Amino acid sequence: MKTLAIEYFAIFRDHAGTDKETLHTEADTPADLFAELSVRHGFPELQTVKVAINDEFGDWNTQLNEGDSVVFIPPVAGG
Amino acid sequence: MKTLAIEYFAIFRDHAGTDKETLHTEADTPADLFAELSVRHGFPELQTVKVAINDEFGDWNTQLNEGDSVVFIPPVAGG
Amino acid sequence: MEFRIQTTALLPEEDRHALEAPSCGGYVSFEGWVRDHNEGQQVLKLEYQAYEQLATREGTRILDEAAARFPIENAVCVHRVGELEIGDLAVWVGVSSGHRDEAFRACRFIIDEVKQRVPIWKKEYYVSGDSGWVNCEACATPGHSHG
Amino acid sequence: MEFRIQTTALLPEEDRHALEAPSCGGYVSFEGWVRDHNEGQQVLKLEYQAYEQLATREGTRILDEAAARFPIENAVCVHRVGELEIGDLAVWVGVSSGHRDEAFRACRFIIDEVKQRVPIWKKEYYVSGDSGWVNCEACATPGHSHG
């Protein structure tokens, strides 16, 4: 079990109903974590989602560590 | 003989020493007129010169008429 | 070189000063304004959200890339977040350089990359009463991949 | 659509307002600043002259051509004449449109054509004490043609 800080933006924030939460989870990778949270919050299926770990773009299959902050990034639309 | 109004800009103004003059001339075309004025004012030889007749771009071999205004246009450099 | 996210109105006249230099002959700017329509829908207003830390990092990387690709003097990009009305300025890019060609190319490069890479999102509120996150609602598909 | 020659300082913030429209999502502007050097010479100041009637006509034709080529909303170009110091704004082009691509392309088209076609001339005064009309001194050749 590890503790992670999750921050939500845009469509994920709307579905999660919160902008951040602290999570105790068995998830080893961002991919595991996203699957877990998708079920819990009913995230919509999106064409491409990226992940950031500790405020930098990360890999879906990297190992998550105790205390990591994780952000899932839906398709961007700045400008 | 016809009377023409000549206006000078940029390098031609510097050489003519005036910004405009009224000219009595036998010149039939802008080409004739330019040759006449080049001698009189010592215009430098430039790669491309255009001519405007009555405030519109004109042709070097057009017939000049009494009272026409003529401007010789050295290479432009706006911006 | 500065990329910034802010909640208050953008003031290009002020940020422009940072770009001035006696060696510069050209300045190109882009402004993204909130438009009253998008893809056939009448838009009432917009809401922008940014993941500020990463947006600022990625935006700064884009400016650095622009400076490496094009011989520009300086470049600044500021993006506004929060609720915006029709006609409001959402993003501003300013680029100064010795000659105009590189200023045009760098400015275009920056806004194109910002729109593609920087974690900023836009929710449109329509006259119809609907609303939606741009690029998120329409692209939702059953057989998706997030890998 | 307006092309204008003026002797007073350009004020893009004011002319910009003419370009605003609720249907516009993109605005691109170009500013030409007086640079402290040109082709290896240190420049002290510039003098611009315009053949105002024809410059305004030709400039307006360029804006009309831009509007015919690119689906823009509006375009304005203002050129200053008289004596300008280093850093002064000599020419400003502003273009608004629904999307950014056409605003970038039209703005670039306008400034390129203005520099090539509009009867405006620039005399550079150098630190060395020399001065010269740009594109006129250097290109003077013995075997010329004015036809």
Question: D97 near C32, Cβ under 8 Å?
Answer: no
Q: Do C104 and D100 touch (CB under 8 A)?
A: no
Residue C92 corresponds to which tokens in the numbers above? 């501003």
pLDDT at D98 over 90: yes
Q: Is residue D140 part of a domain?
A: no
Q: Which domains can be identified in chain A, with CATH numbers?
A: 2-73 (3.10.20.30)
- Tell which of B47, B50, B59, B73 to mutate to test the D interface (max D CBs under 10 Å): B47
Tokens of residue B76, six digits: 């432009």
User: What is the reported pTM?
Assistant: 0.94
pLDDT confidence band for C145 (50 / 70 / 90): very low
Burial class (CB in 10 A: 0-12, 13-18, 19+), D134: buried
The residue type of D9 is A
Please report all neighbours of A, defined by 3+ CB atom pairs within 8 A.
C
Does chain A reach chain B with at least 3 CB pairs under 8 Å? no
Assigned domain for C143 exists? no
DSSP B26: -
| pLDDT at position D137 | 80
Give me the tens of pLDDT residue by residue for chain B, a chain 79 residues long. 999 999 999 999 999 999 999 999 999 999 999 999 999 999 999 989 999 999 999 999 999 999 999 999 999 999 9
| D7 pLDDT tier (thresholds 50, 70, 90) | very high
- C28 found inside a domain: yes
Neighboring chain A residues of C55 at a CB cutoff of 8 Å: 78
- Reference D121, options D137, D140, D134, D138; nearest CA is D134
In this predicted structure, the answer to whether residue D141 has a pLDDT above a threshold of 80 is no
Lowest mean pLDDT among A52-56, C104-108, D34-38, D64-68: D34-38
The predicted structure's pLDDT at residue D39: 87
CA gap A52, A50 in Å, rounded: 7
The DSSP bridge pattern shows strands C26-33 and A2-7 to be unpaired
Query: Domain for residue C147, yes or no?
Result: no
Nearest residue of D to residue B30, measured between CA atoms: D147
Using CA atoms, how far apart are residues B24 and B3, in angstroms rounded to an integer?
5
Write out the two tokens for A68: 């990591």
Residue C139, pLDDT score: 55
Question: Distance between CA D117 and CA D60 in Å, rounded?
Answer: 11
Task: Using an 8 Å CB-CB cutoff, list chain C residues near D9.
Answer: none
The nearest alpha carbon in chain A to C55 belongs to A55
Tokens coding A1: 């079990």
Query: What would the pLDDT profile of C18-63 be if each residue is shown by its tens digit?
Result: 999 999 999 999 999 999 999 889 999 999 999 999 999 999 999 9
Query: Is the pLDDT confidence value at A52 over 90?
Result: yes
Average pLDDT over every residue of A36-55:
96
**Partner B contacted by D3 (CB < 8 A):** no
Tokens 């909640």 — which residue? C7
Share of chain D above pLDDT 70, in %: 93
**What CATH number does residue C76 fall under?**
3.90.1170.40
Residue D145 has pLDDT above 90, yes or no: no
pLDDT at residue number D123: 97
Position C45 in a domain: yes
The nearest CA of chain D is from the CA of C8 a distance in Å of: 19
**Closest alpha carbon within chain D to B43:** D140
* CB contact at 8 A, B37 and B26: no
In a domain, C81, yes or no: yes
Largest distance between two CA atoms of chain A:
40
Distance from CA of C42 to the nearest CA of D (A): 10
- Reply yes or no on whether the pLDDT at C146 is more than 50: no
Please report which confidence band the pLDDT of residue D139 belongs to, taking 50, 70 and 90 as the band edges. Answer: low
pLDDT at D147: 44
Question: What pLDDT does residue C138 have?
Answer: 57
CA distances from B5 to B34, B41, B72, D1 (A): 13, 16, 12, 31
Q: How many domains does chain D have?
A: 1
* Domain range for D85: 2-133
Distance CA(D107)–CA(C6), nearest Å, equals: 28
Query: Does D141 reside within a domain?
Result: no
How many C-beta neighbours within 10 Å does residue C77 have?
28
C15 to chain A, closest Cα gap in Å? 18
Question: Does D93 have pLDDT greater than 90?
Answer: yes
Q: What is the pLDDT of residues C64-87, one digit of tens each?
A: 999 999 999 999 999 999 999 999
Output the CA angle C49-C69-A75, nearest 5 degrees.
25
Q: Do D119 and B52 touch (CB under 8 A)?
A: yes
Residue of B nearest to D140 (CA): B46
A34 phi/psi in degrees, rounded to 5: -65, -40
- Residues of chain C with Cβ-Cβ distance to A62 below 8 Å are none
Report the SS3 class of residue D27: strand
| CB contacts, 8 Å: D146 with chain B | 31, 34, 46, 48-49, 60
pLDDT of residue D138: 57
Among all chains, which residue has been given the structure tokens 């509007």?
Answer: D67
DSSP letter for each residue of D85-134: ETT-EEEEEEEEESSHHHHHHHHHHHHHHHHHHS-EEEEEEETTS-EEET
